[in-house]
Amino acid sequence: MKPPASRSSPAAAFREWRLYLFVLPSLFLVALFAYFPAASAIYHSLFDWQGGEAKQYVAWANFNRAWSDRVLWDSFVTVAFLVGFNLVKMLPSIALAVVIHRLRSERWQYLYRVLLVVPMLVPGLVTLFIWKFYLDPNLGLLNRLLDATGLKAALVGLDRLAGWGVFAEGVPIGWLSQPQLVLPSLFLWGFPWIGAVGVLIYLAGLQAIGTEVYEAAELDGIGPVGKFFYIELPLILTQVRLNLTLLIISTLQGYGLQLLLLGDTGGPGGRGMTPGLWMYNRAFIAGEFGYACAIGLILFGFILALSLVNNRYVRTRR
Amino acid sequence: MNTSGSTPAAFRRPSDWTKHLFILLLLGIELLPLYMMVQVSLKDNAAFIRNPWLPSSPADWQWENWVHAARLVLPYVSNSLFVAVTGTMLTLALALAGAYFFARSRLPFSRLLWAAFMVLMMLPGIANIVPLFSLLKEMSLLNTLYALVLVGVAGGQAFNLFVLRGFIEDLPRDLFEAAEIDGAGHFQQLVHVVVPMSASILGTLAILAFLNKWNEFLLPLIILRDRELFTIGVGLIYLDGEYVKQWGQIMAAYLFAALPLLILFAFTMRLFVRGLSQGAIKG
């Protein structure tokens, strides 16, 4: 850390008051569009409020209602599954970065880095809709692929053995319309789960490893797996942890994917309902803004607690 | 080629093709949506159902799909361009000025202010969306593109401040001292010292901000009502509901939605890949 240009004293503030003008616009926007709504959410969570002028103070009624709201509890279970899925989904990006890094040819490394970025040309929403179309029961590529490779027959056979009642001969698989398949579809979604920006940042971390480190490891007879755990992982660990934290936060509060894939009721049987989506549903479908604020705050408190635990035990290196 | 056999390079040679295979397989699946988008956009439904995987022969290409999609989607694209371009420029301009404040001084309250920004990065904005809606209603900003710009700029501050502050702190101090001796005030130092030195990181951040804003669909979905104001996100969501049958037209519309990104990347791909690969944004 470099010594600051001016010392933190009232005199300095008096002399350099113009500097405050530099931060004022950011501060103003953040106060207006981030802090004010947050305060307003806390305030309105105590009201029966339809979003208009009229509102009635109900004290803790919204929170009591949330406590006995089965949909909300189930949505937390669903989102716990989604967090688990997303942890698994982090692995391919790490693997890809390591494999690209281990290529000998710099030329190929560069080419792959560029190719990685190309899928980002497709807007996220378009990728989402194309995936929705992959999962379409009749036209979708996933069902066609399963039919063509005979995997469908295997699934039907498994189903008969295990008695799931999900897959049947001659019936197209409704990935987004059968309640039992909603979570598996959300797991499959986005395969092979490569995040281009993440891979590029991991690669940047891996660049710090000199070839002599690999040579020394090879002389010591350390295999490819050992190299990953002893040499490569430590270098990208900070970034992996940071990504992990951000991923958990964004998964817990996410609802855009579920809204577009499954609709505002969370799809068949509400199996894709997340707390965020339930909040959206209560506010913009049912018009229960006060209750929606309470749901938002409960989720907020939950994530805050998790972040604090995370900061304590999973310290990131600065 | 290399017959000496004992160099470390030769050690790793035999298995390299499996690595290439692994990488190409993953990248191939990642690129599939782009491929599907382009080839299906030139088919009618009959051709698509007969043969979903391979491109049809050029003689059968249905250019009407593109014409139809262009008419439908280009107004949405221009709305999105307005939001993304003004939003990106404002986000970076404000964040750069703010980052200068934090990097160049330790004035009273600056630690507190910094904490106030950084908290936003780690904390969820989920509780905000409902009151934000009613705030925008009170400001008469519902159903306007300005609301998207302003909320987007506010939302981008924490991350960009974080990256830019670190960057400005790492600039050589002599530069600032020399400028001060020449009588440059803080604003002049920002314009004549910081901006020229940070072109590359600003480029990378601008692309990330632009992508973010281009992909935004939840806020526009909630606050936009008039079809003339739809950004590309809302437009595509409505399209998904309406034209369920004509896959060719839908894919052509997707292609046009991606067009500005294709153009942007054609010019800046090198900068973007380099920026991220040098670890410009370490988080």
Higher pLDDT pick, A317 / B171: B171
Give the pLDDT confidence score for residue B1 in this predicted structure.
40
Q: What is the mean pLDDT of chain A?
A: 87
* B57 and B83 together in one domain: no
Domain boundaries, chain A: 65-135+174-313
Q: B66 lies in a domain?
A: no
Give the pLDDT confidence score for residue A64 in this predicted structure.
94
Answer yes or no: do A192 and B22 touch at CB < 8 A. no
Q: pLDDT tens digits, residue range A28-45?
A: 999 999 999 999 999 999
Q: What is the mean pLDDT of chain B?
A: 86
Distance, in Å, from the CA atom of A83 to the CA atom of A34, rounded to the nearest integer, reads 25
Q: pLDDT tens digits, residue range A202-228?
A: 998 888 887 888 888 888 888 888 889
Has residue A246 got a pLDDT over 90? no
What percentage of residues in chain A have a pLDDT greater than 90?
38
> Which amino acid does the sequence have at A178?
Q
Domain span at B36: 14-61
* B260 and B134 together in one domain: yes
Question: How many other CB atoms sit within 10 Å of the CB of residue B7?
Answer: 11
Got the DSSP string for A189-249?
TTTT---HHHHHHHHHHHTT--HHHHHHHHHTT--HHHHIIIIIHHHHHHHHHHHHHHHHH
Distance, in Å, from the CA atom of B57 to the CA atom of B55, rounded to the nearest integer, reads 7
Distance, in Å, from the CA atom of A296 to the CA atom of A38, rounded to the nearest integer, reads 10
* B130 and B231 together in one domain: yes
| Distance to chain B for A11, nearest Cα, Å | 9
* B53 and B100 together in one domain: no
Q: How many CB pairs under 8 A join A and B?
A: 293
* B49 and B88 together in one domain: no
| Distance to chain A for B225, nearest Cα, Å | 13
Rg over CA atoms, chain B = 24
CATH number of the domain enclosing B240: 1.10.3720.10
* B230 and B262 together in one domain: yes
| Partners of A49 in the β-ladder | A55
Q: pLDDT tens digits, residue range A109-162?
A: 989 998 998 888 888 889 998 898 889 888 788 898 888 888 888 888 888 888
* B113 and B43 together in one domain: no
A189, A257 contact by CB (below 8 A) = yes
* B104 and B152 together in one domain: yes
Q: B8 lies in a domain?
A: no
Q: B117 lies in a domain?
A: yes
B158, B95 contact by CB (below 8 A) = no
Q: B225 lies in a domain?
A: yes
Has residue B130 got a pLDDT over 50? yes
* Phi-psi map region of B143: left, alpha, beta (phi>0 left; psi -120 to 50 alpha): left
CA A103 to chain centre: 30
**Cis before A192? omega within 30:** yes
* B195 and B171 together in one domain: yes
Distance, in Å, from the CA atom of B147 to the CA atom of B136, rounded to the nearest integer, reads 7
Answer yes or no: do A29 and B272 touch at CB < 8 A. no
Torsion of CA B139, B143, B144, B150, to 10 degrees: 60
Give the pLDDT confidence score for residue B15 in this predicted structure.
61
Give the pLDDT confidence score for residue A314 in this predicted structure.
61
Give the architecture (CATH level 2) of A65-135+174-313. Orthogonal Bundle (1.10)
Binning pLDDT at 50, 70 and 90, where does residue B152 land? very high
| Partners of A56 in the β-ladder | A48
Q: Which residues contact A162 (CB under 8 A, 6 or more apart)?
A: none
Give the pLDDT confidence score for residue A1 in this predicted structure.
40
CA neighbor of A60 nearest in space, from A302, A297, A281: A297
Q: B2 lies in a domain?
A: no
Q: B4 lies in a domain?
A: no
The DSSP 8-state label assigned to residue A122 in this structure reads S
Q: Which of A16, A24, A26 to mutate to probe the B interface, most B CBs <10 Å?
A: A26
Q: How far apart are the first and last CA of chain A?
A: 11
Q: Which of B86, B100, B105 to mutate to probe the A interface, most A CBs <10 Å?
A: B105
Q: pLDDT tens digits, residue range A259-304?
A: 999 989 998 989 999 999 999 999 999 989 999 999 999 998 888 8
Q: What value does the mean pLDDT take over residues A241-249? A: 85
* B153 and B204 together in one domain: yes
* B167 and B97 together in one domain: yes
Give the pLDDT confidence score for residue B14 in this predicted structure.
56
Distance, in Å, from the CA atom of B279 to the CA atom of B283, rounded to the nearest integer, reads 9
* B139 and B22 together in one domain: no
* Count of domains observed in chain B: 2
Q: B177 lies in a domain?
A: yes
Q: B6 lies in a domain?
A: no
| Distance to chain A for B59, nearest Cα, Å | 24
Q: pLDDT tens digits, residue range A50-93?
A: 877 788 899 899 999 999 999 999 999 999 999 999 999 999 99
Domain boundary pick from B5, B36, B61: B61
Question: Ranked by mean pLDDT, which of A54-58, A183-187, B102-106 comes out on top?
Answer: A183-187
Give the pLDDT confidence score for residue A3 in this predicted structure.
44
Name the residue among A23, A116, A300 with its Cβ closest to that of B126: A300
